[in-house]
Amino acid sequence: MPNEGARKPGEKLKQGRIAPANAEWIAEAGQMIRSGALVAFPTETVYGLGADATNGEAVARVFEAKGRPAFNPLIVHVLGLEQALIIGEFSPLARRLTEAFWPGPLTIVVPRTAKSDVSDLVSAGLPTVALRSPDHPVARALLAAAQRPLAAPSANRSGHVSATHAEHVAADLGDKAALILDAGPTSHGLESAVVSLVGETPVLLRPGAVTVEAIEVALGERLARETEASSTRPASPGQLLSHYAPRAALRLNAYEWGPNEAVLAFGGVAEKPARVFINLSPSGDLVEAAANLFAALRMLDASGAPTIAATPIPKHGLGEAINDRLKRAAAPRD
Ligand code: AMP
Ligand code: MG
């Protein structure tokens, strides 16, 4: 808690978790982020549900809180280009867009750097990352206080409309956020535009608060739409997800395995001879399992085992998204 003197006499948290976005509460929120908690905060588009992007378990809790049935990649919020360059590779075109629109409601998808310390789960296992520098003073003050990049999707349950008021966040996410910083209604109420600069041509992945025309003027060239580009390369995250699969064949709901197989275990499964054996969470914690999932898949695949045997994983909570990811990895390839 901020020291008592910092709050006006009688000032209480509304509905338990909504706090005024003043300097004291922002400092407190920054500490919460650093300790792995989730904080909802206003941006110029909609309210975001923020977590330390470098903390896999905090990121897993974002998916849990939103009740997402699959791991969609999340946007990472940064103060500016300096912080972004640690996480993503910026081509000259990407830099041109940041100069024109940052801070502001434009998200840029770029390849991840080798030195990026952002959790695999943020990118849902993809080799790319979505970055944006928000313009809202509270979002910026929180980024400065937390001194971490913030993974933050819209602060609403999966499938519900985005929240533009702190009260909507409270109603939708209940006690999932440790704190909701209230700075009144957000101004755009429309999500950021998302542009991919991963391939040779820039591709519009999502129209949003910055217009296509303005982006094209800044780029000095036409933006391909997702549909045009998808004939030559997978552009939408859904397509990308199905294209990313381990080289090894994956066997689901395995109870037995051979000594040459790689094993992806969960909970109290006994370790028996295998080429490699990784338990996502020996204590059976789905948050821990989600945080470890993508790194584990890569390690098992890198072992060179012909097959990966995955032991059963519960279907509730984050187990739904973990099972979804494993099912995609197990699906026959074309
Ligand atoms: P939201 O979670 O509502 O903030 O939406 C995030 C948007 O950014 C979605 O359209 C995602 O698909 C997109 N996105 C985030 N990361 C990536 C990525 N690495 N590649 C492609 N799209 C991404
Ligand atoms: Mg959303």
Per-residue pLDDT 10s for the chain (334 aa) are 444 445 554 456 666 689 999 999 999 999 999 999 999 999 999 999 999 999 999 999 999 999 988 999 999 999 999 999 999 999 999 999 999 999 999 999 999 999 999 999 999 989 999 999 999 999 999 999 999 999 999 999 999 988 999 999 999 998 899 999 999 998 877 889 999 999 889 999 999 989 999 999 999 999 998 765 444 444 444 444 444 578 889 999 999 999 999 999 999 999 999 999 999 999 999 999 999 999 999 899 999 999 999 999 999 999 999 999 999 888 765 5
| Alpha-helix runs per DSSP H in the chain | 23-34, 56-66, 81-87, 92-101, 137-146, 166-173, 212-219, 226-229, 237-243, 286-302, 319-330
213 contacts: CB under 8 Å, gap ≥ 6? none
CATH 3.40.50.11030 for the 249-329 domain, yes or no: yes
CA 268 to chain centre: 29
Q: How far is the CA of 158 from the centre of ligand 2 (A)?
A: 7
Threshold 0.75, pTM exceeds: yes
In Å, how far are 29, 124, 210 from 149, measured between CA atoms? 14, 16, 22
Q: In 3D, which of 72, 242, 240 has the Cα closest to residue 154?
A: 72
**Torsion of Cα atoms, 268 then 53 then 208 then 233, to 10°:** -70
Q: Which atom of ligand 1 is nearest to the CA of 198?
A: 20
213, burial (CB in 10 Å: exposed 0-12, middle 13-18, buried 19+): exposed
Q: Which atom of ligand 1 is nearest to the CA of 194?
A: 8
- pLDDT score, position 45: 92
Q: In 3D, which of 294, 305, 322 has the Cα closest to residue 250?
A: 305
Q: Which atom of ligand 1 is nearest to the CA of 107?
A: 8
Q: How far is the CA of 48 from the centre of ligand 2 (A)?
A: 9
Which residues lie with the beta carbon below 6 Å from any ligand 1 atom? 72-75, 107, 109, 123, 126, 128-130, 153-154, 194, 205-206, 237
Q: How far is the CA of 152 from the centre of ligand 2 (A)?
A: 10
Q: Whose CA is nearest to atom 21 of ligand 1?
A: 237
- pLDDT score, position 226: 76
Q: What is the number of helices (H) and of strands (E) in the chain?
A: 11, 15
The residue ranges of every structural domain in the chain are 18-225, 249-329
CATH number for the domain formed by residue range(s) 18-225: 3.90.870.10
Q: Note the pLDDT tens digit of each residue in 13-56.
A: 666 689 999 999 999 999 999 999 999 999 999 999 999 999 99
- pLDDT score, position 11: 58
Structure tokens at 126: 């993809």
96 contacts: CB under 8 Å, gap ≥ 6? 218, 219, 220
Q: In 3D, which of 163, 70, 90 has the Cα closest to residue 131?
A: 90
Q: Which-ligand-closest: CA of 62?
A: 1
In Å, how far are 93, 235, 259 from 228, measured between CA atoms? 20, 10, 46
